[in-house]
Amino acid sequence: MKFPVLTKSRVGFSLALFSVMTLGGVELCRRVPYLHSRIATACVAVGLVGLLLWIKGQMDLTRSTGDARRSQDNPLTFLQSLRYWGFILATSAILVYFITPRPKVEAPPPTPIAKPVEPLPETNAPPLPPETNATPAVVFPPLKLSGLVYNGDNSTAVINGRTLKVGGYIGEVKLVAIQQRTATVELSGERKALSLDE
């Protein structure tokens, strides 16, 4: 079965145009971040435009009688048809939708479950300096331990109304250790244990 040269040229031109529009649409969807995340929306929009052009071209074709001789003289007259462009847009949008690789959706990393912190035994607390009967050369300001939370590295003590962690200062006095019932402070190398009972 032989086809006329005009039909062959129209089919060849249409296939080339269809391929260029499809591959161009795929590349556009892959490279433009906005389109890449909305491939379905973009393809539906282009497909609807193609469908509307095809309908408009069909309505224009039924209204006009057309000049058959003029369309046979020029092999590219079909490019003026809205029906043709509508068909090309709609079918290339369908192919773009199915060919374009979808963006990978990564699941968020699982959130770790926090385990309750158990208080460390008192044996892990820093050792208290031995108490001597000698009067310290350094005079500590009045310090009142009114509360403490013993929780390992997260232990806190309330001294003179201020909540401190180990390493915190109240004036020049540094909090150096917290035990279950006492807090040890240091001033100029001298240490003093504050008790809740005092």
145 and 95 assigned to the same domain: no
Residue 72 in domain: yes
- Does pLDDT of 185 surpass 70? yes
**Could you report the per-residue pLDDT of 74-116, keeping only the tens digit for each?**
666 666 777 777 888 888 888 788 877 776 666 677 777 766 7
- Check residue 69 and give its pLDDT: 46
Q: How far apart are alpha carbons 186 and 138 in whole angstroms?
A: 10
Burial letters 71-110, b for 16+ CB under 10 A, else e: eeeeeebeeebbbbbbbbbbebbbbbbeebeeeeeeeeee
Rounded Cα gap, residues 32 and 22, in angstroms: 15
**Does some domain include residue 109?**
no
Q: Which of 83, 99, 115 is the last residue of a domain?
A: 99
pLDDT (tens digit, 9 = 90+) per residue, 34-87? 777 778 888 888 888 888 888 888 787 776 655 444 455 566 666 677 777 788
Question: Buried (b) or exposed (e) across 29-44, using 16+ Cβ within 10 A?
Answer: beeeeebbeebeebbe
Residue 131 covered by a domain? no
Strand runs labelled E in 43-197: 145-149, 156-159, 162-165, 169-170, 173-178, 182-187, 190-195
Q: pLDDT category, 19, cuts 50, 70, 90?
A: confident
Residue ranges making up the domain that contains 164: 136-195
Q: Looking at residues 157-186, what average pLDDT do you find? A: 89
Nearest to 103 by CA among 32, 24, 19, 23: 32
Whether residue 179 is found in the same domain as residue 93: no
Predicted local distance difference test score (pLDDT) of residue 186: 92
Residue 95 shares a structural domain with residue 33 = yes
pLDDT tens-digit map of 106-146 = 667 777 776 676 665 555 556 666 666 655 467 888 888 88
- Among the three residues 99, 124, 153, which one is the final residue of a domain in this structure? 99
Whether residue 94 is found in the same domain as residue 140: no
Q: Are residues 90 and 142 in the same domain?
A: no
- Amino acid 56: pLDDT: 83
CATH no. for residue 164?
A: 2.30.30
Burial (CB < 10 A; 0-12, 13-18, 19+), residue 142, is exposed
Q: Could you give the number of structural domains in the chain?
A: 2
**Boundary (domain end) residue, out of 99, 127, 156:** 99
89 closest CA partner among 16, 17, 8: 17
Within-domain flag for 23: yes
